Amino acid sequence: MKNIDPTKELTKEEFIALFAQVPLNNEESYKVLNVYWPLYEKMVEHPEVEPVTAWMAVKNTFIAKEPQVGERMQEQK
């Protein structure tokens, strides 16, 4: 995988690849694509929102709503 820079606006493929670094089940993968990707897109549409801020907000929201994913992230460190 190439280096993905969240300080620049992410493509859908890059966004999914960042989440795919942690094993996700089918339901979690579905949410990344159908809930959190549209949320990211909406955030970066706003001119005052930096792409990295949008990425961090979406990632933190995902972890807050899916705490088991946060636990898996901690295990990988």
16-44 residue pLDDT tens: 999 888 889 999 999 999 999 999 999 99
User: CA-CA distance, 14 to 20, in Å (whole number)?
Assistant: 10
Whether the pLDDT of residue 15 is over 90: the answer is yes
Residue 2's pLDDT is what?
67
Residue 36's pLDDT is what?
96
Whether the pLDDT of residue 1 is over 60: the answer is no
User: Across all residues in the chain, what is the average pLDDT?
Assistant: 91
* Burial class of residue 3 in the structure, from the number of CB atoms within 10 Å of its CB (0-12 exposed, 13-18 middle, 19+ buried): exposed
User: CA-CA distance, 23 to 52, in Å (whole number)?
Assistant: 22
Instruction: Check: pTM over 0.75? Answer yes or no.
Output: yes
Q: Are 57 and 43 in contact (CB under 8 A)?
A: yes
- pLDDT grade, residue 77 (50/70/90)? low
Nearest Cα to Cα of residue 56 among 69, 39, 76, 71: 39
